[in-house]
Amino acid sequence: MQEIGLTPGETKVYLALISLGATKTGLLAKKAEVSSSKVYKILDRLTQKGLVGHVIKGKIKYFQALEPKRVLDYFFKREQELQEKRSLVEKILPQLELEQKLSGKKSEAVVYDGFKAVTNFFRSILDELKSGETYYVLGASYGDTPALRPFFQNYHSERNRKGIKVKMLANMQVKNNIEPATRKNSEIRFLPEYLMNKLEIVFFKNKVFLVLFTQEPIGFLIQNEEAVKAFAMYFETLWKIAPTI
């Protein structure tokens, strides 16, 4: 329920109403484990979302969850609202990009803090590169971040669909358990154990991205053509001594 936009409190109250049927707020608050002062506000929000209704019995208001299919209606409404917002962003995006170019103040260094931010950078690679183009990875591994394996399996599947190539120097520890989609449309060699560490470097065009895949990943993006050339020379030197797949 929270995944489709309900708060934890709204989820508790809605599920309690499903279980109880038509009920007064006192019993509902107890069942949902929320305070009596909050339950009215939560019921108001659920009513506005079309998930809860009420009846009057002997001048007492009883609340009840509407048919579970209304959850689907709510989901479709949220989906429509998100699509409208997406359309608005798409309309203003060209103007924002134009203003950034005219200002001449494009950032040269940016910190990416956390799993979502770091993985968003990798998604941006697939937006920027065209079919047949290549990006480079030095020190590829899954680090200490459990969610990286499923992310990269899906990511490389999408990369293959778009025809984007990757030339990768991976850490030796992943040689026998690398995610299958990574091997497609790629060249992979492995760094000797004495060169392995948790730092991964990704570069293409004028961008270098340094990322530490710790439990809370953090990355640092440098936009500088000279930096890319320097890392490319370092990469090619290591590529010559690295074992093949």
Q: Is-contact 228 203, C-beta < 8 A? A: yes
State the Cα–Cα distance between residues 101 and 104, nearest whole angstrom: 5
Within-domain flag for 26: yes
- Whether residues 139 and 234 fall in one domain: yes
pLDDT in tens, 131-181: 999 999 999 888 887 889 999 999 999 999 999 999 999 988 888 888 999
- Whether residues 59 and 153 fall in one domain: no
Rg of the chain (C-alpha set): 26
- Whether residues 126 and 228 fall in one domain: yes
Residue 52 belongs to domain with CATH number? 1.10.10.10
Within-domain flag for 78: no
Within-domain flag for 65: yes
Angle at 42 between CA 40 and CA 45, to 5 degrees: 110
- Whether residues 32 and 146 fall in one domain: no
- Whether residues 179 and 233 fall in one domain: yes
The number of CA neighbours under 13 Å toward the Cβ of 103 is 9
166 three-state secondary structure: strand
Left if phi > 0, otherwise alpha if psi is -120 to 50, otherwise beta: which for 223? beta
- Whether residues 50 and 151 fall in one domain: no
Within-domain flag for 86: no
- pTM of this prediction? 0.58
Mean pLDDT of the residues in the chain: 84
Which stretches of the chain are DSSP H helices? 8-20, 25-32, 36-48, 69-103, 115-128, 148-162, 225-241
State the Cα–Cα distance between residues 7 and 32, nearest whole angstrom: 13
Within-domain flag for 231: yes
Reply yes or no on whether the pLDDT at 227 is more than 60: yes
- Whether residues 128 and 234 fall in one domain: yes
Q: Is-contact 31 25, C-beta < 8 A? A: no
**The domain containing residue 221 runs over which residues?**
107-241
Average pLDDT over residues 25-31: 89
Reply yes or no on whether the pLDDT at 32 is more than 80: yes
- Whether residues 151 and 52 fall in one domain: no
19 three-state secondary structure: helix
Strands 109-113 and 134-140: unpaired
Residue 198 belongs to domain with CATH number? 3.30.870.10
Among 53, 69, 85, the domain-final residue is 69
CA dihedral 187, 189, 191, 192 (to 10 degrees): 180
- Whether residues 147 and 194 fall in one domain: yes
Query: What's the structural domain count of the chain?
Result: 2
Name the band, by pLDDT with cuts 50, 70 and 90, for residue 14: confident
Within-domain flag for 93: no
Name the band, by pLDDT with cuts 50, 70 and 90, for residue 125: very high
pLDDT (0 to 100) of residue 81: 72
